[in-house]
Amino acid sequence: MSSTQPFEKNVRPAGEVWVWITGVGLAIGLFMICFLLAVIAWNGLNFFWPKPLAEISLTEDGRSDFRGERTVPGVIIQRRTLTAENLSPSDADLLDLARDNRDFMREMMIFTGNRDLFATNNFAFLNMGEITSVEFPRELIRIERTEWGDAIGRPLELRFADGRVLGADDPAFVSTLRDQVDEVRDRRREIIRIERRQMGRINALINREELEIRYLRSLAEPSDAQRRELEDRLVRVAELREELGPLTAASRILRDQQNQVRLAFEVVGGHTQVQPLGDIINFYFPNKMSLFQRIGWFFWKVWEFLSEYPREANTEGGIFPALFGTFVMTVLMSLAVTPFGVLAAVYLREYAKQGPLVSAVRISINNLAGVPAIVFGVFGLGFFIHEVGAVIDQVFYPRMVAINTPVFGTGGILWASLTLALMTVPVVIVATEEALAAVSRGVREGSLACGASKWQTIQRLVLPAASPGILTGLILAMARGAGEVAPLLLVGVMALAPSLPIDSMFPFVHLDRKFMHLGFHIYIVALHSPDTEATKPLVFASTLVLILMVIVLNLAAILIRNHLRRKLESAAF
């Protein structure tokens, strides 16, 4: 036997437990992120998928909202089990019924549509015990309308203005309906073009004149020049109104044409509805669709959601203005925050003498990043709007101040962007400082030894070398700024803005305009719409778009950064 001490047996390796605990921590974090994204993606995308239409038959003596109706059309949303605790007292007899048939303790939630007919909130709960059958007839049609939401029914016939009637059993029915709806859609676009673009432009000019007129009229003792100006402006308004005349007539003719053809359909239960085509946006037969048609429909709906204006108080239609507003605001914010943050960081890192004062400034900047967002909103309101905006108005728009119609002295996209820029500037400063510090001393000394001044060194070598890091800071700033809602509430966001911040009206970019924002849109749709159950899918879809938009903005910045990095490594500039 050897006399040396044997090594200790490895019973419980030191530190092993901590490996597991830290690993579990990471796993939980990753799981939560994936779960969050999955929930939003599933619910958001599900909104666009064409769902089968059911025809649900009920027993004669049912207790549902449809007592008296024998069949109900709808999209099955979910099934759920009732518990004795959450039964309302009037439904207490269900417990007895359930003893024989467990189905009485289960409920089916359906989307009924046909809001104009049923006067319900689009949704209904049916007791499963009272359901006799659920069928999916192929001929059921779902009609998207400009008012009253979707309609679901069985098409009967098309009624033309000249009294001609085309029955649903005619082989040409679907294609004729499609043609007619397309025609209506083209005409609707034309109406929008006339009313929103041409008439909108004239109306905007009239509004401007009328504000001036209001001011001139408000004067107690107008001078001769002002009197003359008032008359001129009144003449101008009259001229503009005359220009409106033919446009109004044109749009009225189109509008009349819109409702010449009508579609009759039978809502299950026997009601016949006659729907003027003018209100129909689109229609489809989900039960007849093949898989490819469904996929095509899905992408079409996604595109519609992104490109259309909202309808019916944000409960239907698309989110284009909110998307656009968020995008413009984020870009304006980036334009404001980058030079400001980079210059501040260059001074702090390159020029300021490092000492207690600079350290204090640096700590303050870091703390600024932790200030609650709403505080910046209050600052934006108090400083940008009430101070800066008021001064701008007094200098450039004194007449608007006199009649109490502030231009920049009220919330707008400029102030919102600057407020967010202020909120995110610490992120840019910190990232830029780190990037500057990472530029090697050797390069700086080499440059100085070549006879470059300090600024030349910074401008020609240090900033280009630091640009990937600076962009990383901008990415973080954008990620924080694009999704922030709280400060915007105070500085110019709107649930429904009448116009976009950028359009074809001179001067094209309207920094004083109020705007829509996706984050705020989500909040409004989720909590402030007449039927929050109906808008739930909309909320998920909007959230998904917001997340995707932040990802796309970040991705763009990352691509630019990587491009710069490659350029730096291959030194092509």
Partner 1 sequence: MSHSFQTKVQARSAAEKEPSTQPDFIQVRDFNFYYDGHKQVLFDLNLDIPKQKVTAFIGPSGCGKSTLLRNINRMNDLIDGIRHEGDITIDGHSIFDPLLEVISLRKRIGMVFQKSNPFPKSIYENIVYSLRVAGRNRKAELDEVVERSLRGAALWEEVKDRLQESAFGLSGGQMQRLCIARAIANRPEILLMDEPCSALDPIATGKVENLIHELKKEFTIVIVTHNMQQAARVSDRTAFFYLGKLIEYDETEKIFMNPGNPQTEAYVSGRFG
Which residue, 128 or 564, is less far from partner 1 as judged by CB? 564
Q: How far is the CB of 467 from partner 1 (least distance, A)?
A: 11
Q: How far is the CB of 428 from partner 1 (least distance, A)?
A: 22
Q: How far is the CB of 558 from partner 1 (least distance, A)?
A: 20
CA neighbor of 436 nearest in space, from 363, 346, 360: 346
Q: How far is the CB of 381 from partner 1 (least distance, A)?
A: 44
Structure tokens belonging to residue 272: 């016949």
Structure tokens belonging to residue 133: 């059958």
Q: Distance from CA of residue 246 to its chain's centroid? A: 36
Which residue, 162 or 569, is less far from partner 1 as judged by CB? 569
| DSSP string for 115-130 | HHHH-S-SEEEEEGGG
Q: How far is the CB of 451 from partner 1 (least distance, A)?
A: 4
Residue type, 486: A
Cα distance between residue 495 and residue 477, in whole Å: 25
Which residue, 2 or 570, is less far from partner 1 as judged by CB? 570
Q: How far is the CB of 573 from partner 1 (least distance, A)?
A: 7
Structure tokens belonging to residue 160: 């033309």
Which residue, 394 or 440, is less far from partner 1 as judged by CB? 440
Structure tokens belonging to residue 14: 């030191």
Q: How far is the CB of 449 from partner 1 (least distance, A)?
A: 4
Q: How far is the CB of 456 from partner 1 (least distance, A)?
A: 5
Cα distance between residue 203 and residue 211, in whole Å: 12
Which residue, 154 or 565, is less far from partner 1 as judged by CB? 565
Which residue, 354 or 367, is less far from partner 1 as judged by CB? 354
Which residue, 390 or 568, is less far from partner 1 as judged by CB? 568
Find the distance separating the first CA and the last CA of the chain, reported in whole Å. Answer: 73
DSSP state of 511: T
Cα distance between residue 293 and residue 442, in whole Å: 63
Q: How far is the CB of 435 from partner 1 (least distance, A)?
A: 13
Residues that bind partner 1 (CB under 8 A): 353-354, 440, 442-453, 456, 460-461, 464-465, 568-573
Is the peptide bond between 507 and the residue preceding it cis, with omega within 30 degrees of 0? yes
Which residue, 299 or 455, is less far from partner 1 as judged by CB? 455
Cα distance between residue 481 and residue 491, in whole Å: 14
Q: Where are the beta strands (DSSP E) in 186-312?
A: 262-267, 271-276, 280-284, 310-311
Cα distance between residue 55 and residue 330, in whole Å: 47
Cα distance between residue 525 and residue 534, in whole Å: 10
Which residue, 291 or 571, is less far from partner 1 as judged by CB? 571
Cα distance between residue 503 and residue 232, in whole Å: 28
